[in-house]
Structure 1
Amino acid sequence: MTLRTRLTLLTFAAVLLAMLTFAGVAGTVLWRAELSSIARQVEAQAEALLAIADTTPGRLNAAARDTLEENGVTATARVYRAGTLVWSGGGLGPPRLDPSFLNGSGIHVVRRTGEYLVASQREGPLIVEVGRSLEPLEKLLRRYVLIATLTLLGLSTVVGALVAAQVRRALRPLETLARRVQRLDLPTPLPALHEPDEVGALARALDGSLRALRAEREHETLFLASASHELRTPVTAMLADVQHTLSRQRPAEELRSALERTERTASRLRQLTGNLMTLTRAQRLPTPPGAPMPAVDLLHLAGEAVDLLQPLATRRDLDLWLDGAPAPVRGDSALLGSVLENLVGNAIKFTPPGGQVRVTVRPEDRHAHLVVEDSGPGLPAGALTEAFVRGHPDVEGFGLGLAVVRQVVDAHGGQLEFGQGEGGGARVTVILPLYGGVQEAAPSFAALASP
């Protein structure tokens, strides 16, 4: 059963129940009011008939006729004297005299006996009973029930049809949303996007989710295509080199040269697969940023990265500087270490011999600032947006480093800024939330790794 059908049936049942309750209460009030009115009438008629029978018994027939007539309805009456019926009028009367009225005086009772409402009065030896048949009232009540039932059914049907139309109109945007979401279709704005009701809120939430999902799918498609291309090229080259080497007998020097080329290609492949694994791990970090992660010192991680890459800087005749102060942040030490290794490693590769690379870590304004600056040629324009961009065409590499850095920094709720250093080289700044949000006094630290 669809939501529209359920809402329609529930509304129809609720309206019908409410109307039935109202009709039942109204019928009960009507019945009691009419019954009370009849009781007052027969009581008054009994008192009047008792007065007539006591003062002018000879004129009982003529006087009683007017007394028993009320709104076109003639009541039934009987007069007893000393327990003996002396007069009756108005057609078929109520049941015989109640024996309890044979004794006592001043008795005044209104009771329902069968289909009659009977008022009894006694004064001395006289006993008067006046009764009114309840059949007209019961007919009126049956007529009311019939009319109320037909009216309620008609009104409920009309209300149900109106509710069904309104529900269908209200749910039409949801059906459109469901079709659009099912096929991830976003060529035009979703319906009800600017409505202030719950459907509008749902449409806005779905619109944001669909756009984010579409952007993520496009990013993943581009990423996979680029990664496949980057992996295929070195593997193809390495395979061709091996096949060429094995095609005939070659001297030992040529075989060693081929093995060295294969080693360099395999090393680059290992670096690429490591970066791919880093990106995958970064996507599994707790979200939103700021979720509980262990505290790590960014300066300590920078020191480890500098120690690891010092031999590379030495071979390229570069000065590698590290200075700053402890800057605790919450994050994954392995992922943040890969950020430092990528940034410092790129800076070393892109800097000509004789230059320098400076790594600075400092806490400032509730954030930890990591700055890697070199004296190389700088970053290309596409480094901010493209996943696979080499910093310089003459330097070997797969260009995935900046994609890794951007993904890890975003996963840690940080910011990544690119600029030009004082010496004209590249300047990359990573800004992460400081652990605790408060800058604490800490001793400065400086180190130099040089040839």
Structure 2
Amino acid sequence: MTLRLRLTLLTAGVIFLSLAAFGGLAGVLLWRIELSSITRQITAQADALMAVASRSPGALPDTAADLLERDSITAVGRVYEDGVLIWAGGAVASGTLDSAFLSAQIPERISRSQDYLVASRRFSASSDGNAGDGPERGVVQVGRSLRPLEQLLTRYVLIAALSLLLLSALGGVSAALAVRRALTPLDRLVRRVQHLSTSDPVPGTQERSEVGALARALDTSLAELRAERRRESLFLASASHELRTPVTAMLADLQHTLARERSPEEVLAALHRTERTAGRLRQLTGNLMSLTRAQHLGERQTADLLDLAGEAIDLLQPLALKREIDLWLEGAPTPALVDASLLSGVLENLIGNALKFSPEGGQVSVRVLPLRGGAELIVEDSGPGFPTGPLTEAFVRGVSAHKAGQAPEGFGLGLAVVRQVVEAHGGSLELGERAGGGARVRVVLPAAPARPSAEKAETELSLDL
């Protein structure tokens, strides 16, 4: 069921129920008003007839029948003395009007008997022949048929039902037209979006209406989705290339080695090359796993970035010593709310990349400093630096960000891992050039919540590795 049909049915249903409730309430009010009017009329007629009967014991004058005429409607009158009917006038009615009242010990009442509404009164006469407080003489009853009122109500119900159906139909048509008019901008937006190309903006974003708000939200979501899909496409292309290259090289090396009989030294050299290639494959697959984990961060805990950086430097110290690179760390204790395992991978990626691209005898510095409301991590090297052009594409693509021809083993997916993990922590990543030449990577992360205890005193630490 479409939204248009649901809204039309809902509106038509509300109109129908409202009209039905109004018609029913009007019918009840009509019945009660007419019934109250009849009650007042027969009560007045019964009082007048009782006064005549009190003055005329045994028989009533012919003019008594005139008391039963009211608004061209003739009521039914009965007068009893000592339980015997002594006078009947007005409209023709069979039997007694309210026989139960004759034996009841009550002075008066209004009752309904068959199709009549009956006013019953007991009367007596004083010593001067007027109605008074003397001994009881008889009963006066005046009744009026309710059949005309019931017929009137029946006609009202028929007219109200026909009017209800007609007005409900008109209301339904009006509701359908109103809903169609109200949903026209939405239909137009749907048709435009259905024929929207991947790069076109969503139309209708300038409209100041609910549809305009929907268009703006949709345009924002589509823009984010396009950007994410572009990053994913670039990343998958780069990942395929990075994984294919070492596999192809390892396979070619093995095929070349197996093409003819080799000496033990040649076989050992081939195995060493295969080992290095397998190590690179392990690093690439580890980076892929880190990217997946970055999308679903584990439990964050407060960790000192200075300690994490020190652990990463300890791990990579053998590589720095082997290439005679001056690797050093400085900074102050800097707590941050992070996934320590993933952030350790970020540090290892950045520092390892700096070591790989720095020449022998070069320098790599790591600085960790607290910021107001955050933490700063800076890694600088003395390598060739980043290529010219938009630096963001360097790590969006997830490929080597250093200058061409200067990547002996490549950086692979490292920068993509760093970017994903840093952004998942709510931080930012900046690539730049170090003063004097070389690459500079700056990571900013949100700081950990302040503890109630005394703040740690900042200390400077310098390691010369």
- What is the TM-score when the length of structure 2 is the normalising length? 0.82
- Out of 391, 394, 399, the residue aligned to residue 402 of structure 2 is 391
Could you report, residue by residue, the CA deviation over 1:1-60 in whole angstroms, capped at 9, with x for unpaired residues? 555545544444444333333322221221111111111111212222333455579993
Amino acid at match of 2:61: L
Aligned residue for 2:30?
30
Aligned residue for 1:326?
333
1:192–1:148 distance in 2 versus 1, CA, 3 Å: farther
Amino acid at match of 1:441: A
Amino acid at match of 2:35: L
Q: Distance in 2 between matches of 1:113 and 1:150?
A: 33
Q: Distance in 1 between matches of 2:409 and 2:338?
A: 27
How far the C-alpha of 1:383 sits from its partner, in A, is 3.8
1:94–1:116 contact (8 Å) kept in structure 2: no
Give the RMSD, CA atoms, in angstroms: 3.5
1:210–1:100 distance in 2 versus 1, CA, 3 Å: closer
2:329–2:365 contact (8 Å) kept in structure 1: yes
2:329–2:463 contact (8 Å) kept in structure 1: yes
2:193–2:202 contact (8 Å) kept in structure 1: no
Q: Distance in 2 between matches of 1:318 and 1:29?
A: 101
1:372–1:132 distance in 2 versus 1, CA, 3 Å: same
Q: Does 1:283 align with 2:295?
A: yes
Could you report, residue by residue, the CA deviation over 1:339-392 in whole angstroms, capped at 9, with x for unpaired residues? 112211222222233331111112221322111122333222344223213413
Deviates more, 1:315-324 or 1:84-93: 84-93
Q: 1:385 aligns to what SS in structure 2? A: helix
Amino acid at match of 1:385: E
Where does 1:276-425 land on structure 2 (aligned, <5 Å)?
276-285=288-297, 292-381=299-388, 382-386=390-394, 387=397, 388-392=399-403, 393-399=405-411, 400-425=413-438
Q: Distance in 1 between matches of 2:11 and 2:199?
A: 35
Where does 1:129-208 land on structure 2 (aligned, <5 Å)?
129-167=141-179, 173=186, 187-189=200-202, 194=207, 196-197=209-210, 204-208=216-220
Q: Does 1:447 align with 2:463?
A: yes
How far the C-alpha of 1:247 sits from its partner, in A, is 2.5
Q: 1:360 aligns to what SS in structure 2? A: strand
Q: 2:350 aligns to what SS in structure 1? A: helix
- Out of 216, 225, 248, the residue aligned to residue 236 of structure 1 is 248
Q: 2:255 aligns to what SS in structure 1? A: helix
Q: Distance in 1 between matches of 2:190 and 2:199?
A: 11
Amino acid at match of 1:433: P
- What is the TM-score when the length of structure 1 is the normalising length? 0.84
Aligned residue for 2:77?
77
Q: Distance in 2 between matches of 1:152 and 1:325?
A: 82
Q: Distance in 2 between matches of 1:86 and 1:276?
A: 114
Identity of aligned residues (%): 54
- Out of 221, 228, 231, the residue aligned to residue 216 of structure 1 is 228
How far the C-alpha of 1:144 sits from its partner, in A, is 0.9
Q: Distance in 2 between matches of 1:178 and 1:89?
A: 81
1:181–1:210 contact (8 Å) kept in structure 2: no
2:377–2:442 contact (8 Å) kept in structure 1: yes
Q: Distance in 1 between matches of 2:401 and 2:97?
A: 119
Deviates more, 1:107-116 or 1:321-330: 107-116
How many pairs were matched up? 442
1:340–1:84 distance in 2 versus 1, CA, 3 Å: closer
How far the C-alpha of 1:146 sits from its partner, in A, is 0.9
Where does 1:94-133 land on structure 2 (aligned, <5 Å)?
95-96=95-96, 107-121=107-121, 122-124=123-125, 125=137, 127-133=139-145
How far the C-alpha of 1:108 sits from its partner, in A, is 3.8
Structure 2 unaligned runs (5+)?
Answer: 126-136
1:395–1:179 distance in 2 versus 1, CA, 3 Å: same
Amino acid at match of 1:300: D
Could you report, residue by residue, the CA deviation over 1:311-363 in whole angstroms, capped at 9, with x for unpaired residues? 22223222111111221222222321221122112222222333311111122
Q: Distance in 2 between matches of 1:428 and 1:43?
A: 104
Aligned residue for 2:19?
19
Q: Distance in 2 between matches of 1:141 and 1:318?
A: 106
Could you report, residue by residue, the CA deviation over 1:221-272 in whole angstroms, capped at 9, with x for unpaired residues? 2211121122222322332233233323455555555444444433333332
2:330–2:461 contact (8 Å) kept in structure 1: yes
1:71–1:3 distance in 2 versus 1, CA, 3 Å: same
2:400–2:407 contact (8 Å) kept in structure 1: no
1:95–1:113 contact (8 Å) kept in structure 2: no
Deviates more, 1:258-267 or 1:414-423: 258-267
2:202–2:215 contact (8 Å) kept in structure 1: no
How far the C-alpha of 1:284 sits from its partner, in A, is 2.0
1:390–1:397 contact (8 Å) kept in structure 2: no
Q: 1:221 aligns to what SS in structure 2? A: helix
Q: Distance in 2 between matches of 1:265 and 1:106?
A: 117
2:79–2:140 contact (8 Å) kept in structure 1: yes
How far the C-alpha of 1:410 sits from its partner, in A, is 0.8
2:97–2:116 contact (8 Å) kept in structure 1: no
Q: 2:257 aligns to what SS in structure 1? A: helix
